[in-house]
A and B are shown apart, each in its own frame.
Chain A
Amino acid sequence: MARLELQGITKRFGRAVAVDHVSLEVSDGEFLTLLGPSGCGKTTTLRIVAGLIDPDEGEVLLDGRPMQHLPAHRRQTAMVFQSYALFPHMTVQENIGFGLRMRGMLPEPVRTRVQEALALVELEGLGDRYPRQLSGGQQQRVAVARAVVTRPKVLLFDEPLSNLDAKLRERLRLELRTLQQRLGVTTVYVTHDQAEALSLSDRVAVMVGGQVVEIGTPREVYRTPRSRVTAEFLGITNFLEGKVMAVADGQCAVQTPLGVVRVDTTAGIRVGETVTLSFRPEDVRIGRHEGTTVTGRVLHASYLGAVTDYAVESAGMTLRIHEGGGALRGPGEEITVTLPTTAAIVHGQ
């Protein structure tokens, strides 16, 4: 059992506020990702959990017990660094066994545990190599093995895949998730890569400017973001501002520059208020379908393989549309576009 709690964590560097009253709860065995642009305070938050940075305010609790008085080396957290931070003067085995030796374990059990960890990350037989003799992906696995071998209560990842090439990153992403589920260890993962966050996590916390602006399952934060920054940060999106004309039958009608758009949300919406709608490009369809139809002109089409990315001009606005397969439409072509009723209603700037 390991439940991690952050209560009002604040950290200032000089006048700049790096982390601004962040409160989070990570339940036992949960995989939580802190997602945000660089400089949003996510790495600082992670380091505060590890005890490598002291917060100015707030409290980190593990299973309800405050950890603030514990120095970094007494917290049972294990971190995987962006640079891997493997000790260059130690072999792979020595690197992995370091945490166990520091806990006073005898050489024989250390060897057994190290072998187990090597097997876990499929690096058997490489124990005698030095980190510099390994490829980037292998170094990354060693870093993971070194972290999990101590059986920490909380695993911390600081952008562990960002130094790998795209293909390897995707494979290791899958492996990481499998490993985490197998070990069932409470995990906090920091990244700026939305695909990584969505595919790995049980829940995603979106951080901007030192604050957690939104937290939810990957589906929630992607499909129904509550704030504009979240919608913007998690992939491409179309924003449409308008005034609510009517709310009835589980739908609301919004008067926008593109005409009246019907949306399947009513929660907390009042007639007469101004709202922003967010459509994902893959939800907007070309042709006449169920939803609100508008006409537009193709400005620009780029073929991306799985989908074609269109920029379509309609009533002075530019819509982004992703269409799978289908015929390639050239610039200047007049088309009909359907806005789905599944748009999210977002707030904020």
Chain B
Amino acid sequence: MTHPWWQRGAPGRWMLALVFFGLASIGLIIPLIVGVLWSLVNPNVGWFPPAIVPANLSLANWRAMLSVPEIGQAFVMSFLIAPLVTVLCSALALPTGYALGRRRLRMRRTIELLVLAPIILPGIVLATGLGSMFIRLGLSHTIPGVVLVQTVVLLPFMIRIVAATFEGVPQDLIDAGRNLGAGPWALTRHVLIPLVKPGLFAGGLFTFIGSLEEFVLTFIVGMPHVQTLPVLLWAYLGGRSSIFTYAAVVTMVLLVPTILLMFIAERTLRQEYLAAGFGKV
């Protein structure tokens, strides 16, 4: 049997790796570099075509932005809301995920559809509806309000991931736990939760980053008192005339902790997955 060129020996594979790396660079790394460059543009000189790199770099934008008290507040707000949303989503997704993943429910498809409804609806439709409801409930402009509204849109993803993980837990392990004397509570604590931890981790990470990035609902429910980094970013990018340079600084402020978090989580996650590897059967 003949293999196509990309499977033939080391050179082929290297070529393939290079192509993928090239695509990843164009898609991910180049925009990042452009962002970094924009944040470093000297406002007095600017950056105009055809210059590929700004003619003059300075930290003026960083100084200007970091001296704005709003950015510090927004930073604290974002990183206060994100963990709250993550914890709330995890707590809600665990039982729902269990029910969807392990129980034979008669209305399973319908329930799944209902769970996914918030992400099927366009964000702006959801935002106007929920926005007016939240005003009536007195939750507008409050942190609990923003946490709740973000939970509404982020929970579906979390439930999907957790349910899939629950589905993957072999029934034999649960039976073995029961057979060895674990009651419902001990079984959950010592067998089920450790086994779905990788899914919970992945879902939690997804939710955390989703919360940091969420804009539409946070803007409508939270403004003007609760201002997260994306809302601030929008203010600079689109609210007034586009100030690319400031927006780039806000982006970096949002991006660097996220990347760090991803990095840490990925390391932890890999160990978790290793531990969850099932033996030879």
Contact = CB atoms under 8 A, between A and B. Distances in A.
Nearest to B195: A89
Contacts of B276: 88-89
Contacts of A72: 175, 178-179
Give the interface size bracket for B toward A: 20 to 34
A52 B275 contact: no
Contacts of A84: 279, 281
A52 B179 contact: yes
Interface in A74-112: 74, 77-79, 81-89, 98-99, 102-103
B279 A134 contact: yes
B173 interface: yes
Contacts of A349: none
A233 interface: no
Contact of B191 (A71, A79, A87, A135): A87
Nearest to B276: A88
A206 B190 CA distance: 38
Interface in B61-106: none
A78 B179 contact: yes
Interface of B: 170, 172-173, 175-183, 186-187, 190-191, 194-195, 197, 275-281
B175 A52 contact: yes
A191 interface: no
17 contacts: A47-B175, A50-B179, A73-B178, A83-B170, A83-B281, A84-B281, A86-B279, A87-B173, A87-B177, A88-B276, A102-B180, A102-B181, A102-B182, A102-B183, A131-B279, A132-B280, A163-B281
Interface of A: 47, 50-52, 71-74, 77-79, 81-89, 98-99, 102-103, 130-132, 134-136, 139, 146, 150, 163
Contact of B278 (A103, A132, A134): A132
B181 A150 contact: yes
A84 B97 CA distance: 26
Contacts of A71: 178, 183
A307 to B, nearest CB: 34
Given A73-B183, A83-B170, A103-B181, A130 B275 contact: yes
A89 B275 contact: yes
A73 B182 contact: yes
User: Most chain-A Cβ atoms within 10 A of its Cβ — which of B180, B182, B190, B279?
Assistant: B180
Contacts of B172: 81-83, 85
Contacts of A99: 180-181
A81 B176 contact: yes
Nearest to A72: B178
Given A81-B172, A81-B175, A85-B172, A98 B275 contact: no
A299 to B, nearest CB: 40
The 9 closest A-B pairs by CB, nearest first: A102-B181, A99-B180, A85-B176, A85-B172, A72-B178, A131-B279, A89-B194, A132-B279, A79-B179
Contacts of B277: 88, 132
Nearest to B181: A102
Contacts of A98: 177, 180, 182, 190
User: Most chain-B Cβ atoms within 10 A of its Cβ — which of A71, A85, A86, A103?
Assistant: A85
Contacts of A131: 278-279
Contact of B186 (A83, A87, A102): A102
Given A73-B187, A88-B277, A89-B197, 5 more contacts: A74-B181, A85-B175, A88-B278, A102-B181, A150-B180
A79 B181 contact: no
B200 to A, nearest CB: 13
A135 B194 CA distance: 23
A70 B114 CA distance: 37
A73 B179 contact: yes
A36 to B, nearest CB: 20
A81 B194 CA distance: 20
A47 B176 CA distance: 11
A98 B179 CA distance: 11
Contacts of A85: 170, 172-173, 175-176
Contacts of A150: 180-181
Contacts of B178: 51-52, 71-73
